[in-house]
Amino acid sequence: MAQFYEYEAIVFAVSKNPEILEALKKEFPKITIHAVDLEDWVATKTAIEKIGHVHFLVNNAGFAEFQDFLTVQPEAFEKYAFKLAFYL
């Protein structure tokens, strides 16, 4: 993100953690921040629609599903791998 900012790109940061967003805004004052829980589809869509056209998307979301890979339930895989990756 720092390189996009350095090249004067218009940067939007989306996170469910407002404290992280505020810290990011202090470091990069020109960015626009949106606090939204990405598991809330309606709120996420509303926030993203406010942004408009996006040229680059850097997905830096993290999650953890503490199960053995060979026994992970399909619901957990679907929740994290498919819904979050293809919603936007």
Task: Look at residue 77 in the predicted model and tell me its pLDDT.
Answer: 63
Cβ atoms within 10 Å, residue 6: 9
Question: What ranges do the domains of the chain cover?
Answer: 2-87
pTM given for the model:
0.63
Distances from the Cα of 4 to the Cαs of 36, 46, 57, 74, in angstroms? 22, 24, 11, 37
Q: Provide the total of helices (H) and of strands (E) in the chain, helices listed first.
A: 5, 2
Q: Do the Cβ atoms of 70 and 77 come closer than 8 Å?
A: no
Tens of pLDDT along the chain (88 residues) come to: 788 888 888 888 888 899 999 999 999 999 999 999 887 888 888 888 888 888 877 777 666 666 776 777 777 766 665 554 444 4
Task: Look at residue 71 in the predicted model and tell me its pLDDT.
Answer: 76
Cα–chain center distance at 30 = 18
Is 75 in a helix, a strand, or coil? Answer: helix
Give, for 43, the enclosing helix (H) or strand (E).
helix 41-51
Cβ atoms within 10 Å, residue 80: 16
